Structures are given as structure tokens and as C-alpha cells.
Structure 1
Amino acid sequence: MRRLTGRRLWRRVPQLLVGLFLYGIGIAFMIRGVIGAAPWDVLAQGIATHVPLTFGTITIAVSGVVLLMWIPLRQKLGIGTVLNALLVGPSADIGFLLIPEIDVLWVRVVFFAIGLTVLAAATGLYIGAHFGPGPRDGLMTGLHRVTKRPIWVVRTALEVTVVAIGWLLGGNVGVGTVAFALLVGPMCQYFMQIFDVRPAPQPTRARA
């Protein structure tokens, strides 16, 4: 992670918190679309059909389990990692309170599109703040480093696994799941370029 000067904290901290809050809102929009959820959200949905816990609480619990998997991989936590694990789930629960359930198909498609866009922008915000990766991203990069497999292979294997488990438990897999897999990478890359907090320029010293 690049070293940034303290003067950038005035932007980085709010950007991190706004990004994490909007990430949960994006999840809520996509799930309200009911055309298929993102892989890790399919898992949380599936677990929610079997335990008396909210989606957000389950998301926190899953993040905790993922962070335990960091230990043998020797991944290092950042404050952004911890806040991601703690805040995304509750913000998704807030989103469910604010976003109504809709039966009209075209509105559900719009909800999904809004959710995907908001989630991608939120990813750019919190990653661009440079406070550490989210639990799932850190698991992916840790497995990539340990197994020496290409990052796309590791990510695909992880997401296929969690989708399969979530679907077997009752999570919602559909065309939205496929759309998420195809579109989230390019969209996140676009927003990361926009919201990346670059190091403050260092003053040049005049030559004697």
C-alpha cells in the first residue's frame, strides 16, 4: 500500500466511510431487484433462510470467518479491512428498510442496475482511500500469493464455490449473478481510477 501523507486524511477517512456505507446500499438495491445476487450475497441469503438473523448480521459473521482464514495466509489487517467487516452488513440492513420490495420486472431490473453501479462506485471509494482491502479481497490476494495461481483463477474458484453453497442453501442465483460477474470488474476499475487518492506532491529542493 502506498504511503500517503497525513494531509490526505481529511479526504481518505470520509471517503472510506462513505464508500462502505454505499457498498451496503448497493447490495440492498441488487437484492431488492430479485434477479440474482452477487456471489457472497447469495451465500448470505442462503444462510439467512436457515437462521433467525438479519442479512447484515450474517454478512458480519461471514466476514469474521473470512478474516480467520487470513491467519494461515499471513495477511495483514488494515483499519479499512476491519471497518469493511463491521459496517457493510448494517448499511445493507438500512438499505432494506429504505428500498421497497417491488413486483414489477422492469423496476427490479432498474434496482439491480442502480445497485451494481452504486456498489462499483463504493468499491472505488473505499479501495481508493488506501486503508486496506476488504476481507474477501484480502482472501483472494492471499490465496493468489500462496498458491501462485493467477488472480482470475483464484477469484473465479472462490466465487463459484460460495455461489454453489449459497444456492444449495436457498440463495437467489439468476441472470443478475451472471451480470455481476461480467460487469463488476470493469466498473470497479473505472471508479477506482476516479476516486484513487494519490500521494501529495513532494516539494522540490532547489540545488545549491
Structure 2
Amino acid sequence: MEQISNPVTTYIKRLPRLMFGYFLYALGIALTVDANLGLAPWDVLHQGLSQTLGITFGTASIGVGIIIVALNVKLGERVGWGTIGNMIFIGVFLDLLFGSGLLPSLESVPFRVIQLFAGMYIIGLASYVYLGCGMGSGPRDGLMVALTKKTGKPVGLIRSGIELCVLVVGYFLGGSIGIGTVLTALGIGIAVQHVFKLVKFDVKGQKHRFVDEDLAWVRAK
């Protein structure tokens, strides 16, 4: 993405794609939760918090996102408007989906496994849609990157350590774990990578614009 002289116009053009990406991401998460085979590590935490605090699943997701974004900033990681949108709108869409009554809630275990994998691939497609806007990555990915930079440890080790920690906390708060937890922990990364390969998306080559750049642009005006 080239340097933007007026970011407002560009962001308005990209907003529909960005929001569609958030909706798809929420749909993917909702399908994996509704499969009722055990939740992904972060969703175990969100469910545990929602049950413990008496809040909705989406509100728990937003609250965790706010804490992570604040931590990312403290660790020196740059934040994009897309990061902030990810923090808010995925949680909003999750509550809308869970309250819609449109999720399949299948009884057959084989079909629920298919639903789980469908959710993971939808998350992969959603990642391509919103990351392709060049407006910043999600809060949780930012935390992984920030801790990798700070510790100098391999990114795989950092990601596994983060997910193990949130899984343990979520479990003790009452979150659901099961075979789906293992499948999503191992499979989401593969699904995302597969989707990126299919659409020929080079995530490393994608350039992002960050909030601090836009604030500098406003001050310059």
C-alpha cells in the first residue's frame, strides 16, 4: 500500500470490505462454538469470563481485546484502525449471531466436526479479507508479535505459550474444552495458511497504515 496523502478517502472506500471481514470472522468463531465440541483457547477464555461475570460472549471478547490492545501499546506495538475495529466489531457481530437463532446447532457428531472445520476455514477467509485492507492486524496477533520481539523467542513458542495460558485461565473460569479445542488449536493456523495460499495473499508483504501515522497527518494539516 502506498503512502496515503489523505487517509480518510481511502479508509471510507475500504470500510465495507473491513466490516465484511469482521462479520466473516465472527461467523467462523460462532460456527466453531456452536459445533459444541470444545472451544478454541481464546474462546474458552471468553466463555469463562461471560459465565463468571454474567456478560455476553461478545462483550467478553471486546473486554479482552481492549486489555490486549492496551498491552500491545505498552509493549511498543503499533496499532491500526483495523485493530481497534477488530477489537469492537467482532464481539458485536458475535452477539448478533448468537442471538439470531440462525446457527445450525447440529446433533450429529460427524456434521458438527464438518461445521467446526467450516468455521476454521471461514476464519481463514475472514483473515484475508480484513488484513488485505492494510489497516492493522488483530489485537491477539499483535500481542504475539510484540512478545516475540521483546523476548527473542520463536513465534511458534510464543503463540503456543499465550494460547496455553488463556486456555488454562478460561478452563478454571468454566470455559468448555474438548476435542474441538485440540482441533482448533492445531487447525486454525493450517486453515488460514491454506486460504492465503489459495487466494495468493502474501501476508508478510502486506503493508499497513497505523493510527500514529494518521494522527501525524492530522497535525500536519
Same fold (TM over 0.5): yes
Structure 1 residues 3 and 141, CA, compared in 2 at 3 Å: closer, same or farther? farther
Q: Which residue of 2 is the match for residue 129 of structure 1?
A: 133
Give 2:79's aligned amino acid: L
Following the alignment from structure 1 to structure 2, what is the Cα–Cα distance between the partners of residues 153 and 3?
A: 33
Q: Does 1:112 align with 2:116?
A: yes
Q: Which residue of 2 is the match for residue 26 of structure 1?
A: 28
Query: How many residue pairs align between the two structures?
Result: 198
Give 2:171's aligned amino acid: W
Structure 1 residues 39 and 4, CA, compared in 2 at 3 Å: closer, same or farther? farther
Give 2:135's aligned amino acid: F
Mind listing any 5+ residue stretches in structure 2 that lack a counterpart? 207-221
1:41-52 to structure 2, matched below 5 A, reads 41-52=43-54
Following the alignment from structure 1 to structure 2, what is the Cα–Cα distance between the partners of residues 152 and 128?
A: 23
Following the alignment from structure 1 to structure 2, what is the Cα–Cα distance between the partners of residues 91 and 141?
A: 26
Q: Does 1:3 align with 2:7?
A: no
Judge conservation of contact 1:37–1:172 (CA < 8 Å) in 2. Answer: yes
Q: Which residue of 1 is the match for residue 19 of structure 2?
A: 17
State TM-score, norm by structure 2.
0.81
Q: Which residue of 2 is the match for residue 144 of structure 1?
A: 148
Deviation at 1:67, TM superposition (A): 1.1
Deviation at 1:11, TM superposition (A): 6.7
Deviation at 1:4, TM superposition (A): 6.3
Alpha-carbon deviations, 1:172-196, whole Å to 9, x = none? 1111111112221122123234274
Q: Does 1:180 align with 2:205?
A: no
Following the alignment from structure 1 to structure 2, what is the Cα–Cα distance between the partners of residues 78 and 92?
A: 22
Structure 1 residues 77 and 47, CA, compared in 2 at 3 Å: closer, same or farther? same
Following the alignment from structure 1 to structure 2, what is the Cα–Cα distance between the partners of residues 8 and 86?
A: 21
Q: Which residue of 1 is the match for residue 107 of structure 2?
A: 103
Give 2:92's aligned amino acid: P
Identical positions, percent:
34
Judge conservation of contact 1:25–1:94 (CA < 8 Å) in 2. Answer: no
Deviation at 1:8, TM superposition (A): 7.3
Q: Which residue of 2 is the match for residue 64 of structure 1?
A: 66
Following the alignment from structure 2 to structure 1, what is the Cα–Cα distance between the partners of residues 122 and 129?
A: 10
Which of residues 40, 55, 79 is equivalent to 1:38?
40
Following the alignment from structure 1 to structure 2, what is the Cα–Cα distance between the partners of residues 86 and 14?
A: 16
Following the alignment from structure 2 to structure 1, what is the Cα–Cα distance between the partners of residues 15 and 52?
A: 36
Following the alignment from structure 1 to structure 2, what is the Cα–Cα distance between the partners of residues 43 and 177?
A: 12
Mind listing any 5+ residue stretches in structure 1 that lack a counterpart? 200-208
Q: Which residue of 1 is the match for residue 92 of structure 2?
A: 90
1:71-86 to structure 2, matched below 5 A, reads 71-86=73-88
Give 1:189's aligned amino acid: Q
Q: Which residue of 2 is the match for residue 153 of structure 1?
A: 157
Following the alignment from structure 2 to structure 1, what is the Cα–Cα distance between the partners of residues 13 and 189?
A: 25
Following the alignment from structure 1 to structure 2, what is the Cα–Cα distance between the partners of residues 106 and 189?
A: 24
Deviation at 1:18, TM superposition (A): 1.0
Q: Which residue of 2 is the match for residue 203 of structure 1?
A: none
Alpha-carbon deviations, 1:120-177, whole Å to 9, x = none? 1111211222110111000110011111111111101000100111111111111111
